[in-house]
Structure 1
Amino acid sequence: MTDNKKNLEKENISNLLLRLSVPAIIGMMIQATYNITDTIFVGRALGENGVYAIGGLAVAFPVQMIIMATALAIGIGGASIISRSIGKNDVDRAERTFGNVILLVFISSIGIIVFGTIYLSPILQAFGATDAILPYSYDYLQIILYGTFFFSFALAVNSIVRAEGNANIAMYSMIISAGLNILLDPLFIFGFGMGIRGAAYATVISQIICAMYLINYYVGGKSIIKFRLKNLKPDLGIVNEISAIGISPFVRQGSSSIVVIVLNNVLVIYGGDVSVAVFGIMSRLLMFTIMPVLGIVHGLQPIIGFNYGAKNYDRVIQSVKLSASVASGISFAGFLLLFLFPEQLMNIFTSDKILIEEGISAIRISVLALPFVGFQIIGSALYQSIGKARPSFILSMSRQVFFLIPLVIILPRFFELNGVWIAFPISDLLAFALTFTMVSRELKSLNIEEV
């Protein structure tokens, strides 16, 4: 038994979760820092046009989220199979899954690049780009699309690395990508005077370097599973299972993209370009506060997957309860930060008084139910990790599709612009109630099976 496998099976849950989560949290926080600094640099570099540039990033973001959703669906679906296969000592199936993950990443990337390049302008207009915002979103996304394969490869393979229990390599890859991006941003944006296009070039270059680092990890023979060319042959059983499990993270990320599209279009109606820019800033701040929870999820998934595959259900229950408590604490801390200091945070991005004033109100309303979000994320991760596609799909759909989108469309008719922001806490509360009910039943079921 390798050290990673032994640790997943025997190590104290709190120590194991800490050891696997901390590297992921560090990597995710650096990634979140990049998302924020990218917006800050773009907003500051373009002066009076900074509002439109930030709006351009906000409109381009749904496309990036679709790319991310596709890569995460492949990576998380494959990682779930791989962690359970390792738990059953079926290394051959784990390696065949890895090969199919690489193949699916390549095929999906080509499709995204071709379709996105041909229909870029209509897509951005449909996503809420006004005449003032469109040139900025187009310039940025046109470059980002060409880095699709490297971005998708890094995201998907990172999930595989974590499935092996090697959290440090996953952390280093995120640090390389985000850290290099942070360093290159001011060079390309200010030094070369490239503005928003410079931000895109910095992103693509850093993604290429990250992908090369991960390739070296597997080629260097340091991993539990090996990359073999013969495993690039499609295995329909594995592809179907990846798709069944991956549909949940795809829907979660993809529905987030749909939410952003709906929000951008509603905000244009009720608030204009300034409101779109406010949402662009607010979404990055929310992402920053949630990233540590996602780091916990990355540490949690291999623990659940391995022990569920090995039928160690008590360890599954322990890890879920512990991670849910920690995630809830992090969500509450994020709520305090955003609710108490919105003005200070907005001032980091812009000096536009109208943008800052609207941002303060939007943030304070939107984060009212943020303390409940951590548990939602852990609940969805539970079902992904044990390979139960249907409940994972339901939970992934609940907050974004079942609750938030309808509320964003309906509430502004009664409360105008504030109705958009009010939709966030209401949907969070409803999603929490559903998640709590489903997860409680699942844990009771696992407890019975353990006995």
Structure 2
Amino acid sequence: MKIQLSDRFTYGKLIRFTLPSIAMMIFTSIYSVVDGFFVSNFAGEVAFSAVNLIMPFLMIVATVGFMFGTGGTAIVANTFGKGDRQKANRYFSLFVYTAFTLGAFFAILGFIFIRPIASLLGAKGDLLEHCIVYGRIILITLPFFVLQLVFQSFFVAAERPRLGLFVTAAAGITNMVLDAVLVTLLPLEYKLAGAAIATAFSQFIGGVIPLIYFFKKNSSILRLGKTRFDGKAILKACTNGSSEFMSNVSMSIVGMLYNLQLLKFAGETGVAAYGVMMYVSMIFSATFIGYSIGIAPIFAYHDGAKNYDELKGLLKKSLRLLGISGIVMVTAAQLFAVPLAHLFVGYNKELMTLTVSGFRIFAIAFPFMGFAIFGSGFFTSLNDGLTSAMISFLRTLVFQLSAVLLLPKIWGINGIWVSIIVAEVMAVTFTSVFLIIKRKKYHY
């Protein structure tokens, strides 16, 4: 039976509805991990370091997709909850068109200025040239990646989360197959370009398939069509999604700082080790991000419909599920640290030792990370972009930035790994404060 946003949700129904979004984000992370696996094992440590060095910049450029996806979904789902279907579809079309246009604009700027940007991030010599090659190829299809990020949220609002999973799977399989062909068969000097081409094709597919689906007559509650410019709605979507925008931009900035600190303390080996941790942690954090994306339209709908008892029940169920998931994840991370590290850097004993020890420290942050990610997404779904942005801003730009600057002075390279734990604990503390303060306002 089809689950609708207006339903009353038990634990089972909630898990079934959010599971495709969780799987979608995990699958996205897995095919990114596969990309890293092929680059690391077939193109070498310098190429792998280049990908990890330039990737934070690429994610900053693509973050406009997260902003309009999460921020726009809250508005569209809330409008549906109020019973205005036509207006909801106008908003949907407006947000998609605006995100694509901005994505194209930022991609052009990035393509032009990629060399000075990579130099600013600390790349020199071969590392710099690798960054430029990889970055420019990815930027060619970046507007479609922006669309993919937008539609990941809107598939849930359209009550078609499984279709969103299908699109992500199609894009991911394309990336994996092309990686296996291009990276393994091309000469060494072209392997990194092959990996970038594989990713670019997958981004194109991830953006085009949902674009075609929503333009055609379909069985979902959303459809792309005519709209009109509405600066107020765009500003509201940006405000709602500012937390996700802030979170992704801040995390990318922090990632750049991590790389600079690691270059200082451990050279390119440290950057490669951090890259492995980022790839693996993406799979774990994807569960929390996927759950937040999956449940956000439900919160927005019931807030618009003023079903406050259901809203309160959903919040309690979510906090319990997140607590259980966090415990499972940190346990799994400790158990599988060695085989996961070996998968990427088994060819280098020193690099593997550094990766395993760092990841085991880093992984302690997972339970706290889940609550902070959910808290930010929860306030976005209630159209409280300011509170959501505050959580994201404190979590990433303030706490992580401060920790990664200060703690290495005390504990050296281990201070870099510990910094994420300190930042996430502080973020959860402030998230709890906001949840308590806002209870009466949002009736939960």
- TM value normalised by structure 2: 0.95
SS at match of 2:123: coil
- Please state how far the C-alpha of 1:284 moved relative to its aligned partner: 0.9
Look up the match of 1:32: 29
Q: Which residue of 2 aligns with 1:156?
A: 150
Could you tell me which residue of structure 1 aligns to residue 202 of structure 2?
Answer: 206
Quote the offset at 1:132 in angstroms.
Answer: 4.1
> Which of these residues, 416, 425, 436, is aligned with residue 420 of structure 1?
416
After superposition, residues 30-429 of structure 1 pair within 5 angstroms as 30-46=27-43, 50-193=44-187, 194-222=190-218, 223-228=220-225, 230-231=226-227, 233-350=228-345, 351-429=347-425
* Cα distance in structure 1, aligned partners of 2:41 and 2:98: 39
RMSD: 1.7
Q: Which amino acid aligns with 1:120?
A: I
Code of the residue aligned with 2:286 in structure 1: it is M
Note the alpha carbon deviations across 1:80-102, whole angstroms, 9 max, x for none.
11000111111222122122212
1:55-106, Cα deviation, whole Å (9 max, x unpaired): 1111121122213321110111111110001111112221221222122123
- The whole-number CA distance in structure 2 between the counterparts of 1:127 and 1:212 is 32
Distance 1:330 1:195 in 2: 37
CA distance in 2, matches of 1:66, 1:152: 11
What runs of 5+ residues in structure 2 fail to find an aligned partner?
Answer: none
What is the identity percentage for the equivalent residue pairs of Structure 1 and Structure 2? 26
Q: Deviations over 1:217-241 (max 9, x none)?
A: 213322313221x31x321111111
In structure 2, the residue corresponding to 1:10 is in which secondary structure? Answer: coil
Alignment CA distance shift 1:445-1:234 (3 Å): closer
Give yes or no for contact 2:299–2:381 (8 Å, CA) kept in 1. Answer: yes
Deviation at 1:164, TM superposition (A): 2.1
CA deviation string 1:325-362 (max 9, x = no partner)? 22222222221122233222111002111110111221
Distance in 2, Cα, partners of 1:56 & 1:336? 31
Kindly tell me the number of residue pairs found equivalent between the two proteins. Answer: 440
Amino acid at match of 1:243: C
Is residue 10 of structure 2 the alignment partner of residue 13 of structure 1?
yes
The answer as to whether partners of 2:61 and 2:107 remain within 8 angstroms in 1 is no
Change in Cα spacing, 1:403 to 1:308, as seen in structure 2 (3 Å) is same
Report if aligned partners of 2:285, 2:366 keep a CA contact under 8 Å in 1: no
Aligned counterparts of 2:316 and 2:120: Cα–Cα separation in 1: 42
Q: Distance in 1 between matches of 2:377 and 2:170?
A: 26
Q: Distance in 1 between matches of 2:247 and 2:181?
A: 34
Distance in 2 (CA, whole Å) between partners of 1:265 and 1:289 is 24
Q: Distance in 1 between matches of 2:57 and 2:397?
A: 18
Pick the aligned partner of 1:435 from 423, 431, 439: 431
Give the Cα separation in 1 of the matches to 2:111 and 2:5: 44
**1:59–1:261 CA contact under 8 A, matched in 2:** yes
Displacement of 1:444 in angstroms is 5.2
Report Cα offsets for 1:273-300 as digits up to 9, x if no partner: 1001111110111111111222211221
